[in-house]
Amino acid sequence: MIPREKLTEIIIELLKRASICLPRSVKEELQAALRKEEEEVTRHQLETILENISIAEDREIPVCQDTGVPIFFAKVGRNWAAVSEVAAAITEGTVKATKAIPLRENVIHPLTKENSGTNTGWRMPFIYYEMTSEEFSEIQVLLKGFGSEAKTSLAYIPTSEDVVKGTLKFVLDCARKGFGEPCPPYILGVGMGGTSDIAAMLAKKAFLRLPLGKKNPDPAAADLEEKLLAAVNATGIGAMGMGGKTTALAVHVELCGTHSAAVPVAVAIQCWADRQAAVRIHSDGTFEFLEERKNG
């Protein structure tokens, strides 16, 4: 595993990449949305979004003024170092990145509203751990803005009902209630199964699947993704709520086994600024930043 000092530098670079450069497939989907859009006002919104992305990359500045809160997903391979060392490097890297990039100082105490000024504190940055048998480890970061985060919703669909129809109705209700506030065209993450907390986590993890629009390997989930995307885009909400053909760039569904009585379904929304980055760390200490990684 890489020494803590080097890992801290990697975390800083990871946060820089996430806040400034969107994944290639996200930009391609935005360009595709512009090509097929006919409404003039909506075309202007998409053109402005794409220009914004270009300016951010050219000037190396965050793509959005709300740089979100730092959520990390760690795939723990056989070469993983002590958890305390990795967590410390992630925290230290976030502190330094907040000043160096810079990131907006978003993290506060939920009761007193005290601002740490570093995007750390009170369990932030939050890290989800997943054990794997791989010879390498991966760290992924998701910078989650709250214009879209505030539209996260949870429902329980009884297994005595048609779960697919229930999910379609729930997702459409979420899209209509959110309308233009989550900054469409957005990405929908749908977590199904487990318990409420597992479903919500899976809905977040769904944003990390690249290339954007890559289908879930489960045929039933892939079919649901296709139905949900068509239904959401049929609402006509469009870019920034201005109407048009593309409300969602993609819908990603993630599954977990659940109780026989009901299926918890969490719907999370990620605005068009799908700010994420990933690094793979090998046993010999070498590492590589992953652009269009493959996730199951």
Reported as a pLDDT band with limits 50, 70 and 90, residue 283 is confident
Whole-number average pLDDT of the chain = 95
Report the pLDDT value the prediction gives residue 295, as an integer from 0 to 100. Answer: 40
> Are 281 and 257 members of one domain?
no
| Mean pLDDT in residue range 192-205 | 98
In a domain, 46, yes or no: no
Asked if 126 and 15 sit in the same domain, the reply is yes
- pLDDT above 90 for 79: no
Q: How many domains does the chain have?
A: 2
pLDDT at residue 3, rounded to an integer: 84
Confidence of residue 225 (pLDDT cuts 50, 70, 90): very high
Which range has the top average pLDDT, 76-85, 125-134, 186-195?
A: 186-195
Residue 29 or 296, more confident: 29
Both 153 and 134 in one domain: the answer is no
Residues of the domain holding 119 = 4-21+63-144+275-290
Asked if residue 281 and residue 218 are part of one domain, the reply reads no
Do 137 and 227 share a structural domain?
no
Query: In this structure, are 14 and 70 located in the same domain?
Result: yes
Residue 101: closest CA among 70, 126, 73, 124: 70
pLDDT, tens digit (0-9, with 9 covering 90-100), for 142-188: 999 999 999 999 999 999 999 999 999 999 999 999 999 999 999 99
- Residues 4-11 have a mean pLDDT of 94
Q: Are residues 93 and 165 in the same domain?
A: no
Q: What is the pTM of this model?
A: 0.94
Query: CB of 25 within 8 A of CB of 211?
Result: yes
Percent with pLDDT over 70 in the chain? 97
Query: What pLDDT score does 294 carry?
Result: 40
- Specify whether 207 is located in the same domain as 157: yes
* pLDDT value, residue 285: 84
- Chain centroid to CA 296: 15
**pLDDT for position 296:** 35
Residue 208 lies in a domain: yes
Share of the chain above pLDDT 90, in %: 90
For residue 43, tell me if it sits in a domain. Answer: no
Quick one: 140 and 243 in the same domain? no
The tens digit of pLDDT for each residue in 239-249 reads 999 999 999 99
232 part of a folded domain:
yes
